[in-house]
Structure 1
Amino acid sequence: MLCQNCKQNEASISYMQVINGAVTKVSLCEDCAHEKKIKPIDINIPFSVKDLFASLMDMDKSSTYEAEKEKACPKCRSTYSRFQSLGKVGCEACYETFKDELSPLIRRVQIKGEHIGKIPEHAAFDIKRKREITKLKTELSHAIQAEEFEKAAELRDKIKLLEKEVG
């Protein structure tokens, strides 16, 4: 395809132009693109997870956060500004210490607000059973509140059976 500007050279750069809501595809050679100060976009731009988290966190800044900026974790003494610069927390206690700042970020990144993580193969059976028991206990509570006693009795029996398996 020829350059739409000079109509002499082969077009190597294409972009979409929107004028008053009308979208037009424009194809230019490198010389014409350089004249018009249009730079090609490098699709292979490297980025780091740290930069991704930093950009997500910048969206959450508020005036109340600025006053608490140097709050430190009681266990590892890590600060939220350290987390912003490194992209990782210092210890497990940091999640509770910086809960207000981290919760919106975790929700955006993980969709759910809860981190489940991977289960080690050697512990998979017990962990899955314990999660199943927790889920069934929640269902049992709802069944009791809804006065569905037959369903509650079935759930109770399932829970007892699973608790015997876990030991």
Structure 2
Amino acid sequence: MRTTRTLAVIALTLGLAACVTNPAGPSNMALPGTGKDFNNFRADDLSCRDYAVTQIGGKSVNQQYNASLASTTAIGTVIGAAIGAATGGGEGAAIGAGVGGLSGAAAGANTASISGMNAQDKYDNAYYQCMYAAGHKIPVPASMARTYSKAANTPSSTVGSGYYPPPPPPNRPR
């Protein structure tokens, strides 16, 4: 009876941990560049998604999350069973496996979450680089967005703030 309850708790914990998912694509949207056709944007989007997946090792973010969760949970279960067997024999091994699986799942959920966030960040960076290189618009933080005054050739939001734009190219008339 006690083993059944322990296994039920482990199954519930693993089931709840498996409900956490990461986006199946970029975290933010990209928009078609000025003068870009929507069909070309869609083709570039698919190409850039494929490029981003290859940059994170060929597995989706969710596949990396699930692999991390499964391996950490399995390691916790094995370690718990070994400790339980060493201290209490057969019944101790079962209890140790249950406690090890539960604590392994808890630790695994945290590890998998961090692994998933890192993979998502790498995916997003690769996707945005690809879309930007194809001439599309990508999201940027408001602090990075500046509007330029054509007359003064300086960012209007940073005038007087110590920001100096780069010099014009050598062949450009001033």
TM surpasses 0.5: no
Relative to the length of structure 1, the TM-score reads: 0.22
What is the TM-score normalised by the length of structure 2?
0.21
Structure having the larger proportion of residues in helix: 2
| Larger proportion of strand | 1
Q: Which protein is bigger by CA-based radius of gyration?
A: 1
